[in-house]
């Protein structure tokens, strides 16, 4: 099939033949093997569908050896986890209700061509593998990336097109409806985003779905008969009679914990009442209680327009914002919406602190990072604390995508920026609360973001029999769990910066998408007003604990003079300017741009002066403190700057007659000299005798430091070269050398 003007092929029957379904996807020079395997029997003791989707990166696919100690692939990278989620989310709703067999989908990347996205190949290949297998699957689905290049929508843009694109939109769906959306954008208007979603879906239903269906018709296996989890009808009748009215009352409570306690109490009472009549049916009763609760919540929303906490469909929970809760971090912001509370903390580092990436993408470093933590106490639970799971990585990446378009470029703000969002309470949409809290933290830290970003989560409850539906603004946890859609929208006043939509039904229509986007904009603007009332713009000054970055420019030919042999010169500068436990960090770019980072600004200025002295060419009349390196019968050689020596003739060693050079100086002595002449061959002649009168007036510090000659009558005193003490001027640096 043709996708984006290029051919994608799906092949089966040659590789991984013992899998339930196996498809090899070729697209340009990218190759991905997708397999699907389903267990023969249901998993015992679970009340959910056990689906696992894994995305296996192989570094050989890009001709690289892994950079870790073991030189082999380890746990999945963040990018691999995000790609696995792209496939998991649209296929999960398409398995039969009550299906409890384990299903595992594995996408293995064998070859990577940056112009042909492997994440989309994995999604299409997984759909095809499930469709031709004997696993019950109500697909197929398809997926594409939609870019916006020069005002035109582009399917699966190349690497060069993606650099110029205003959006990176992933759309997945069946032939009937959109199932999943994931997007990052540069403040794109809602209407343009809607048109892009529908543009992508047209390609899915007219090109990808027919191709997979043709494959199924030719080589697909008959679907197996499976036993679905289905409680006895008489038990369902008894649970409904015992629980419906009580659950209807218990669920109407604005407080999450009180509501959960009330619902749990109803469940315990019903279990006790039905235990004698239906012995050993606890799991079935629990399943039916959840089913009745879901029906009651949805009925109240659609028929009465009332949500569990009493809000209207478009009402946003009470909002509180605060900044500067923490004294030492560089910026902090607290955002609370109802019973969802997030504390975001911003840290500023040097460009040398950028994250180094070791994955299959073209990016080698990351300058802006957002990390999301979801501890168990945030929902009143206990569980072991481990590293971030797939949910934490996904939510952190969504907030990072929402904020990235407003982060200033490094030539304007040469800092590495990390924001960590700690979820302290959660009752729905903590990822969007992270976006809001992180915006507050960035502005409090003095990061000159282009515009504030706010986010809100939208929900959907739809009755398939009547076609009635309700779009909910600012959904809470129970509405997310029991509703049909989780649609997160983040952006500025100008437009959308990030989207994420997941459906729990077979899809949604243009009408619902448009209503959700417009309603989300109204909610975002309301939330942003509350945020700007707390802090209206980024602070002009950084935290006293944040590093100050001084920028200066030298000739690239002078870089080696600053670094020195084996880094000796730059390390000496760093050591000599160290103040207490804090030290100066110096980052030298290949174009001669130097970033000097120091919490103590005086120490940074001292480092700048030392570098200026190193790179300034000697001139007649300048005075230096140098070290004697060689002795000759006719004089002594003195190193006045790294790699720069001059000769002090024996007649210039003293204002008295000198019989032997050793009578005045020895190798290693530190002396003050004056440049008397630089001849046509670049040889430097020095004089200790002429420097003697100045020595008493200004004792040198002993470091290689240039001092300006005294001004002649009628001239002003020359000042130091200018260097920015905060944000540098234009000129983007390239990859650099780093001194530590």
Residue 39, pLDDT above cutoff 60: yes
Partners of residue 695 on adjacent β-strands: none
pLDDT digits (tens, 9 = 90+) for 245-284: 999 999 988 888 899 999 999 999 999 999 888 888 888 8
pLDDT confidence bin for 599, thresholds 50/70/90:
confident
pLDDT at 721: 38
pLDDT tens string 640-668: 876 688 999 999 999 889 899 999 999 99
Position 700 pLDDT exceeds 80 = no
By mean pLDDT, which of 426-430, 592-596, 711-715 is the weakest? 711-715
Chain-centroid distance of CA 343 in Å reads: 17
pLDDT value of position 711: 41
Residues above pLDDT 90, as percent of the chain: 66
Strand order in the sheet with 485-491: 152-155, 142-149, 167-173, 178-188, 496-503, 485-491, 454-462, 469-473
Q: Indicate the burial class of 544 (C-beta count within 10 angstroms; 0-12, 13-18, 19 or more).
A: exposed
CB of 606 closer than 8 Å to CB of 627: no
Q: In which band, very low, low, confident or very high, does the pLDDT at 327 lie, cut at 50, 70 and 90?
A: very high
The per-residue pLDDT for 376 is 94
- Tell me the pLDDT tens digit for each residue of 664-692: 999 999 999 999 998 888 899 999 988 88
Mean pLDDT of 419-437: 96
Structure confidence at residue 359 (pLDDT)? 79
User: At 636, is the pLDDT very low, low, confident or very high (cuts 50, 70, 90)?
Assistant: very high
How much is the pLDDT for 617? Answer: 80
According to the model, what pLDDT value does residue 191 have?
Answer: 95
* Structure confidence at residue 694 (pLDDT): 47
Q: Which of 104-118, 294-308, 686-700 has the highest mean pLDDT?
A: 104-118
What is the value of pTM for the model shown?
A: 0.82
The Cα–Cα gap between 31 and 434 comes to 36
Whole-angstrom distance, CA of residue 567 vs CA of residue 590 = 15
Output the pLDDT for position 29.
96
pLDDT for 5 beyond 70: yes
**Which pLDDT tens digit goes with each residue over 497-511?**
999 999 888 778 889
Closest CA to 434 of 515, 310, 527, 520: 527
Per the DSSP assignment, residues forming a β-bridge with 417 are 348, 368
Q: Among 26-40, 112-126, 433-447, 455-469, name the one with the lowest average pLDDT.
A: 455-469
Assess whether pLDDT exceeds 90 at residue 53: yes
Alpha-carbon span 415 to 351, nearest angstrom: 6
Q: Quick one: what percent of the chain has pLDDT higher than 70?
A: 93
Statement: residue 116 has pLDDT above 90: yes
User: How far, in Å, CA of 23 to CA of 208, rounded?
Assistant: 14
What does the angle CA 244 – CA 246 – CA 248 come to, to the nearest 5 degrees? Answer: 70
Spell out where 578-660 has E strands: 585-589, 593-598, 623-632, 635-641, 644-649
**What's the rounded mean pLDDT across residues 142-155?**
96
User: Tell me, what's the pLDDT at 693?
Assistant: 63
Question: 610 pLDDT band (50/70/90 cuts)?
Answer: confident
* Neighbour-count burial for 310-338, b at 16+ CB within 10 Å, e otherwise: ebeeeebbebebbbbeeeebbbbbbbbbb
- What is the Cα–Cα distance from 510 to 202, expressed in whole angstroms? 12
The pair of structure tokens assigned to 217 is 């018709």
Residue range 65-71: mean pLDDT, rounded:
85
pLDDT of residue 710: 42
What does the pLDDT read at residue 581? Answer: 67
What distance lies between CA 303 and its chain's CA centroid?
41
Q: What is the pLDDT of residue 445?
A: 96
Mean pLDDT of the chain: 89
The yes-or-no verdict on residue 330 having pLDDT over 90 is yes
State which of 25-39, 299-313, 669-683 shows the largest mean pLDDT: 25-39
- Predicted pLDDT at 74: 85
Q: Confidence class of residue 729 from pLDDT cuts 50, 70 and 90?
A: very low
The answer to which of 351-360, 451-460, 671-680 has the lowest mean pLDDT is: 351-360
Alpha carbon of 580 to those of 383, 533, 600: distances in Å?
41, 39, 10
Average pLDDT of the residues in 416-434: 95
């Amino acid at each position: 099939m043709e996708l984006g003007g290029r051919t994608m092929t799906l092949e089966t029957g040659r590789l991984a033949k013992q899998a339930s379904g196996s498809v090899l996807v070729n697209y340009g020079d990218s190759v991905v093997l997708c397999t699907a395997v389903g267990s023969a029997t249901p998993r015992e003791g679970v009340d959910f569908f056990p689906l696992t989707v894994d995305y296996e990166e192989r570094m050989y696919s890009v001709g690289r050896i892994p950079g870790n100690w073991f030189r082999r692939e380890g746990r999945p990278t963040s990018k691999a986890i995000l790609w696995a989620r792209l496939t998991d989310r649209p296929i999960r709703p398409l398995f039969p209700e009550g299906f409890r067999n384990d299903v595992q989908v594995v996408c293995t990347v064998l070859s990577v061509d940056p112009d042909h996205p492997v994440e989309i190949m994995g999604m299409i290949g997984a759909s095809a593998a499930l469709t031709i297998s004997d696993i019950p699957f109500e697909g197929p689905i398809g997926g594409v990336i939609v870019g916006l290049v020069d005002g035109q929508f582009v399917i699966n843009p190349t690497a060069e097109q993606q650099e110029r694109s205003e959006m990176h939109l992933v759309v997945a769906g069946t032939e009937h409806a959109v199932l999943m959306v994931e997007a990052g954008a540069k403040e794109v208007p809602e209407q343009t985003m809607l048109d892009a979603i529908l543009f992508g879906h047209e390609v899915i239903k007219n090109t990808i779905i027919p191709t997979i269906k043709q494959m199924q018709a030719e080589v697909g296996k008959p679907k197996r008969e499976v036993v679905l989890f289905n409680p006895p009808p008489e038990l369902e009748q008894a649970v409904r009679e015992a629980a419906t009215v009580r659950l209807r009352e218990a669920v109407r409570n604005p407080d999450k914990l009180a509501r959960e306690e009330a619902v749990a109490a109803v469940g315990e009472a019903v279990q006790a009442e039905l235990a004698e009549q239906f012995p050993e049916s606890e799991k079935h009763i629990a399943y039916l209680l959840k089913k009745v609760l879901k029906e009651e919540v949805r009925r109240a929303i659609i028929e009465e327009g009332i949500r569990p906490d009493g809000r209207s469909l478009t009402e946003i929970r009470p909002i509180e914002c605060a900044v500067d809760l923490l004294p030492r971090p560089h910026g902090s912001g607290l955002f609370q919406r109802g019973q969802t509370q997030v504390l975001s903390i911003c840290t500023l580092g040097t460009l040398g602190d950028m994250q180094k990436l070791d994955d299959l993408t073209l990016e080698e470093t990351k300058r802006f990072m957002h990390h999301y933590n979801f501890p168990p106490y945030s929902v009143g639970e206990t569980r072991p604390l481990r590293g971030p799971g797939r949910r934490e990585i996904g939510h952190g990446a969504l907030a990072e995508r929402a904020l990235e378009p407003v982060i200033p470029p490094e030539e304007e703000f040469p800092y590495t920026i990390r924001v960590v969002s700690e979820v302290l309470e959660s009752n729905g949409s903590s990822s969007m609360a992270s976006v809001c809290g992180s915006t507050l933290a960035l502005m409090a830290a003095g990061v000159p973001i282009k515009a504030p970003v706010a986010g809100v989560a939208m929900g959907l409850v739809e009755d398939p029999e009547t076609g009635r539906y309700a779009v909910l603004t600012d959904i809470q946890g129970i509405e997310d769990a029991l509703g049909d859609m989780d649609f997160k929208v983040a952006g500025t006043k100008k437009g959308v910066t990030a989207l994420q939509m997941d459906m729990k039904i077979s899809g949604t229509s243009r009408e619902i998408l448009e209503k959700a986007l417009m309603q989300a904009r109204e909610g975002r603007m309301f939330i942003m007003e509350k945020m700007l009332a707390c802090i209206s713009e980024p602070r002009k000054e950084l935290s006293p604990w944040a590093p100050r970055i001084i920028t200066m420019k030298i000739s690239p030919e002078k870089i080696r003079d600053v670094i020195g042999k084996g880094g000796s010169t730059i390390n000496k500068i760093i050591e000599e300017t160290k103040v207490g436990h804090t030290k100066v960090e110096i980052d030298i770019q290949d174009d001669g741009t130097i970033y000097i980072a120091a919490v103590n600004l005086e120490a940074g200025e001292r480092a700048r002066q030392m570098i200026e002295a190193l790179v300034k060419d000697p001139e007649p009349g300048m005075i230096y403190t140098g070290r004697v390196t060689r002795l000759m019968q006719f004089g002594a050689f003195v190193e006045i700057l790294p790699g720069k020596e001059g000769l002090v003739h024996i007649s210039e060693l003293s204002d008295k007659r000198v019989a032997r050079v050793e009578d005045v100086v020895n190798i290693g002595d530190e002396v003050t000299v004056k440049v008397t002449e630089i001849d046509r061959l670049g040889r430097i002649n020095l004089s200790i005798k002429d420097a003697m009168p100045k020595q008493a007036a200004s004792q040198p510090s002993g470091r290689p430091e240039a001092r300006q000659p005294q001004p002649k009558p009628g001239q002003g005193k020359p000042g130091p070269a200018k260097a920015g003490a905060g944000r540098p001027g234009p000129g983007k640096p390239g990859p650099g050398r780093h001194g530590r």
